[in-house]
Amino acid sequence: MANRNMEKMASIDAQLRQLAPAKVSEDDKLIEYDALLLDRFLDILQDLHGEDLKETVQEVYELSAEYEGKHDPKKLEELGNVITSLDAGDSIVVAKSFSHMLNLANLAEEVQIARRRRNKLKKGDFADENNATTESDIEETLKKLVFDLKKSPQEVFDALKNQTVDLVLTAHPTQSVRRSLLQKHARIRNCLSQLYAKDITPDDKQELDEALQREIQAAFRTDEIRRTPPTPQDEMRAGMSYFHETIWMGVPKFLRRVDTALKNIGINERVPYNAPLIQFSSWMGGDRDGNPRVTPEVTRDVCLLARMMAANLYYSQIEDLMFELSMWRCNDELRVRADELHRSSKKDEVAKHYIGVYHTLSLNLRDRILEKIPSNEPYRVVLGEVRDRLYQTRERSRHLLAHGYSDIPEEATFTNVEEFLEPLELCYRSLCACGDRAIADGSLLDFMRQVSTFGLSLVRLDIRQESDRHTDVMDAITKHLEIGSYQEWSEEKRQEWLLSELSGKRPLFGPDLPQTEEIRDVLDTFHVIAELPSDNFGAYIISMATSPSDVLAVELLQRECHIKHPLRVVPLFEKLADLEAAPAALARLFSVDWYRNRISGKQEVMIGYSDSGKDAGRFSAAWQLYKAQEELIKVAKKFGVKLTMFHGRGGTVGRGGGPTHLAILSQPPDTIHGSLRVTVQGEVIEQSFGEQHLCFRTLQRFTAATLEHGMHPPISPKPEWRTLMDQMAVIATEEYRSIVFKEPHFVEYFRRATPELEYGRMNIGSRPAKRRPSGGIETLRAIPWIFAWTQTRFHLPVWLGFGAAFKKVIEKDVRNLNMLQEMFNQWPFFRVTLDLVEMVFAKGDPGIAALNDRLLVSKDLWPFGDQLRNKYEETKKLLLQVAAHKEVLEGDPYLKQRLRLRDSYITTLNVFQAYTLKRIRDPNYNVKVRPRVSKESAEASKSADELVTLNPTSEYAPGLEDTLILTMKGIAAGMQNTG
């Protein structure tokens, strides 16, 4: 068997080495890492399922690799024949194996990228592996501003300490990997990194290798498929776990690095502990736009849960801080406070804080609670009081969450962050006054920075709701008051009535207001906001906002529901027409005197990348987003308002994704101005915060790029560039819409050629795939829209429109090609837009789309598929011409190498998916199943059978649904994007 195998085919390891480009640099160990992980996995696969199944995996891989070499469609057919001949259990095992191998390839990449980064830092070489810089090192940025751009160190320091980056974690359903698997992947990554450490001993190596095999097997043995959809609370817990694991300690660590970078440009001051450099917000449990599962009760739960988690994190650290601050010398201010607390704290008083749980505590902790802190340790006395109040704060939130009430009075807890910071500031001042600044700037400063960043609520929850839902409430109120139908009123009449009510004092409605379930849901959400502490909340975002009355209606509802500290109201502009009309809408809003007085010179506006892209295509959406920002800033300046732009970016290019550094530095001049809000969605949360080093780099990228954009803005486009962009946008929009919205067979083609209809089976989010159950493309959410095209590697929403625009303007005047090349070389926005589309072409393969057509699409639609693939090839050719590239990614050998390593795995899963969809959708499709492959042992055969039983309720033939979901997850891992 072994000899036949050796003669028949090369091992995957050898195939990898043939396929992959040669070493890209001296420190390139990617092939080595990948081969090691693969070798360990194949050994495990053989142990679990027998040698024949391992050989089947190798045979499938070889066919896929041969296809990648010549792109011969016959190889895909051969591959399909092998795949469809597998029985249900074997089919799941093989699909699971390729999905697992793609995840291992991603881990090898991550370790290689981290290794290269460390090597560059050691050498002081900050340039990243791409031609266009994708890194923002804070030290490099500060030195560049001072030494290259001749900014004064004080000027840089002032700008830095006054800027704010607010990262908003959202529950967008694009993280297809289960949390339990992500944790196992992190351990594999750590083992691999340590195995290649220079000072490793033979014993260490042996133990690490065993640990690596154990984790690879544990990941493979874990069910990849979520069997039930997550609840919004589950999503919130998953999001909050990143705070516990990386962000909590990552923020003070990052701010220390900022202090060091400042020292290196001559600033001998630290960033003030309360400087708002980094803030965190969340949409998890607050985003109810089209998600009926996010109820007022859910919002209340997630706020209390976050509050409890924050108090618990502080409580777990305060003992260490008390242990560290054992000094007796202090200033008079602290001495007076410590003496007061010492006199008033009797053992029974301290113990009463812990009544109800005292008997459950460890003996050691009981002793510490009842032990009176000596009066000659004043810092510990003061911090002991902080500790006790933190305990009460945590327990009160826990009680409210579990029972809806708590016996702990609110005054025994911390209710605002100023109250929490006051004793910490007192300790800090005292240490500095006594010559112990070095001690003050240790753990105490880190703790104060955490308090300033995370507050008592860990994150601030944004609320998002559709404008129509508020209109419905207003209509119910006006009808109840018998003054007419709000919905039928003109915008002028709506504004007039809203302003008269906002200026008056009378209550607008009482408990007798007739309420539908939808109206009650909106009003109850406002009541929850009124009930909970105001520091739980951030912004109230209105999607589909078009006019000033949309904003004023929310202001009136906040007042009517007795919200003491009203949330700032943020209109969200998403579709192309809304973006075009946004500046005029904002000007009308600022023309309302009442509103201008209410906002105190500050306004936030959100712009949506996903829906604008779905509405008009990536080219037109990107250009309209650029222009809308410029115009919105002009309007704000005219009215003397500081505008913060909130960027609703997804992870994929089709939804505004791409490298952070480039995204920020390609924004229009003056649009960030030291204040940036941006969403971090789905799989991007893991990519940004999954590890300590990733968290550090994320905070660094955002901070440094925001500073650089403010102090050294990118160039504005020349007038002739604008004219050309406007012309191309019209052509691109027309091309995109003529196919997506006007082509009568497009919806039928899309639904047959992609797994869009099966997307919901992945159970990766709590919200439905559509805003409304019925309807076509326009009601489909942007995530499943992008997801479907990413799965087939055709990426239509990203490139459609670019080719037609390039072709028309070049045909009109050949000199336009030179202008486009000038724009590509000189204008960051245009360069980044095209670079990202080029990267998508590198991940694409129209051959897979052709296979899907042949298997899944009716013959009468084949010419339409051919037409789209011709447009794909033409667009790619024109894009390379504009970029002056001979082939895709010629300037980025690292990315090219990484994609080539992944291609054969992804192709296998693409073919698996196409044939599985065929079997699911066409009951008459016959396949000849060969005998069970995994049969070397009774245990191996049983193991494959057990995989089929994990989904006993499937409506399809055994194994098909799980095989399909595994292919979707594997392709998402390989493309490193879901939706």
In the set 614, 795, 871, 876, the catalytic residue is 614
On the 0-12 / 13-18 / 19+ scale of CB atoms within 10 A, 300 is: buried
pLDDT at site 306:
94
- Spatial distance between the Cα atoms of 799 and 732, rounded to a whole number of angstroms: 10
List the beta bridge partners of residue 157: none
On the 0-12 / 13-18 / 19+ scale of CB atoms within 10 A, 211 is: middle
3-state secondary structure of 572: strand
Q: In this model, does residue 705 exceed pLDDT 50?
A: yes
Mean pLDDT of 333-354: 72
- Spatial distance between the Cα atoms of 736 and 742, rounded to a whole number of angstroms: 9
- DSSP one-letter code for 411: G
Does the annotation count 614 as an active-site position? yes
The Cβ of residue 660 has, within 10 Å, a number of other Cβ atoms equal to 24
**Residue 233: closest CA among 295, 307, 182, 176:** 295
Poorest-confidence range of 185-189, 395-399, 633-637? 185-189
Q: In this model, does residue 745 exceed pLDDT 80?
A: yes
Q: Are 138 and 257 in contact (CB under 8 A)?
A: yes
- Spatial distance between the Cα atoms of 619 and 805, rounded to a whole number of angstroms: 9
893-921 and 51-70 are packed helices; what angle lies between their axes, rounded to 10 degrees? 110
pLDDT at site 612:
79
3-state secondary structure of 285: coil
C-alpha dihedral, 384 to 387 to 391 to 394, nearest 10°: 160
Rounded to the nearest angstrom, the gap between the alpha carbon of residue 425 and the centroid of all alpha carbons in its chain is 34
Q: Give the length of the chain.
A: 979
The proportion of the chain whose per-residue pLDDT surpasses 90, expressed as a percent, equals: 67
Q: For 451-468, b where at least 16 C-beta lie within 10 A, e where not — what string? A: bbbbbbbbbbbbbbbbbe
List the beta bridge partners of residue 647: 607, 678
**Which pTM was predicted?**
0.88
Question: Number of C-alpha atoms within 13 angstroms, CB side, residue 80?
Answer: 21
Report which secondary-structure segment, H or E, holds 950.
none
Most confident range (mean pLDDT) of 3-12, 128-137, 331-340 is 331-340
Please compute Rg for the chain using Cα positions: 30
C-alpha dihedral, 918 to 922 to 925 to 928, nearest 10°: 60
The proportion of the chain whose per-residue pLDDT surpasses 70, expressed as a percent, equals: 87
Q: For 634-653, b where at least 16 C-beta lie within 10 A, e where not — what string? A: ebbeebebbbbbbbbbbbbb
Phi then psi for residue 533, to 5 deg, are: -55, 140
Confidence band of 123 (pLDDT split at 50, 70, 90): low
Tokens 């024109």 belong to residue = 878
Q: Are 130 and 892 in contact (CB under 8 A)?
A: yes
Tell me the pLDDT tens digit for each residue of 903-915. Answer: 999 999 999 999 9
Q: In this model, does residue 741 exceed pLDDT 80?
A: yes
Q: Give the end-to-end CA distance of the chain in Å, rounded to a whole number.
A: 43
Does the annotation count 172 as an active-site position? yes
- DSSP one-letter code for 165: E
- Spatial distance between the Cα atoms of 582 and 570, rounded to a whole number of angstroms: 12
3-state secondary structure of 124: coil
3-state secondary structure of 196: coil
Question: Number of C-alpha atoms within 13 angstroms, CB side, residue 525?
Answer: 28
3-state secondary structure of 573: strand
Most confident range (mean pLDDT) of 173-187, 357-371, 576-590, 759-773 is 576-590
In the set 49, 75, 172, 795, the catalytic residue is 172
pLDDT at site 353:
47
- Spatial distance between the Cα atoms of 653 and 610, rounded to a whole number of angstroms: 9
